[in-house]
């Protein structure tokens, strides 16, 4: 069983302003080996759109699928 890099958790929920920087953060997590978990969510906080995306480390994603 492999572990996420740099002591990162097995489950991550990335959140932030829905912009290019957020997309880069999700892309970097995918490059590290995380898998998307579920659909992204967005909301408007009265000022800007906030996005959220859950990610799972592959060993955990396989366990959830069983």
**Per residue in 16-41, pLDDT tens?**
999 999 999 999 999 999 999 999 99
pTM: 0.85
The 3-state DSSP class for residue 63 equals helix
Structure tokens belonging to residue 39: 């659909």
Question: 2 to each of 5, 7, 50, 60, how far by Cα in Å?
Answer: 9, 11, 32, 10
**Per residue in 38-60, pLDDT tens?**
999 999 999 999 999 999 999 86
């Amino acid at each position: 069983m492999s572990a996420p890099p740099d002591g990162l958790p097995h489950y991550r929920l990335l959140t932030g302003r829905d912009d290019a920087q957020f997309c880069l953060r999700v892309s970097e997590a995918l490059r590290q080996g995380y898998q998307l978990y579920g659909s992204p969510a967005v909301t408007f906080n009265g000022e800007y759109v906030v996005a959220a995306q859950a990610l799972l480390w592959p060993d955990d994603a396989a366990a959830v699928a069983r």
